Amino acid sequence: MAHVIEKAPTGRAKCRGCGGKIAALELRFGERLPNPFADGEMTHWFHLDCAAFKRPAPFLEALAATSERLLDAERLESEARRGVAHRRLPRIAGAERSPSGRAQCRSCREPIAKDDWRIALVFYEDGRFAPSGYVHVRCSRAYFETADILPRLQRFAPDLRDEHLKEIEQELGPSAPE
Ligand SMILES: [Zn+2]
Ligand SMILES: [Zn+2]
Q: How far is the CA of 17 from the centre of ligand 1 (A)?
A: 5
d(CA 79, CA 77): 5
Q: How far is the CA of 116 from the centre of ligand 1 (A)?
A: 26
Q: What are phi and psi of 61, to 5 degrees?
A: -60, -45
Q: How far is the CA of 111 from the centre of ligand 1 (A)?
A: 30
Q: What is the pTM of this model?
A: 0.94
- On the question of pLDDT at 177 being above 60, the answer is no
User: For residues 177 and 77, which has the higher predicted lDDT (pLDDT)?
Assistant: 77
User: For residues 126 and 169, which has the higher predicted lDDT (pLDDT)?
Assistant: 169
pLDDT in tens, 53-103: 999 999 999 999 999 999 999 999 999 999 999 999 999 999 999 999 999
The ligand with the least distance to the CA atom of 50 is 1
pLDDT bucket at 174, cuts 50 / 70 / 90: confident
The ligand with the least distance to the CA atom of 8 is 1
The ligand with the least distance to the CA atom of 21 is 1
- On the question of pLDDT at 130 being above 60, the answer is yes
Q: How far is the CA of 28 from the centre of ligand 1 (A)?
A: 9
pLDDT in tens, 142-164: 999 999 999 999 999 999 999 99
Q: How far is the CA of 31 from the centre of ligand 1 (A)?
A: 13
Give the sign of the dihedral formed by CA 8, CA 11, CA 12, CA 17: positive
| Of 68, 70, 92, residue with least CA distance to 144 | 92
| Average pLDDT taken over every residue of the chain | 95
Residue 120 DSSP SS3: strand
- On the question of pLDDT at 176 being above 80, the answer is no
Find the mean pLDDT for residues 20-34.
97
pLDDT bucket at 104, cuts 50 / 70 / 90: very high
| Of 131, 51, 116, residue with least CA distance to 43 | 51
Q: How far is the CA of 173 from the centre of ligand 1 (A)?
A: 27
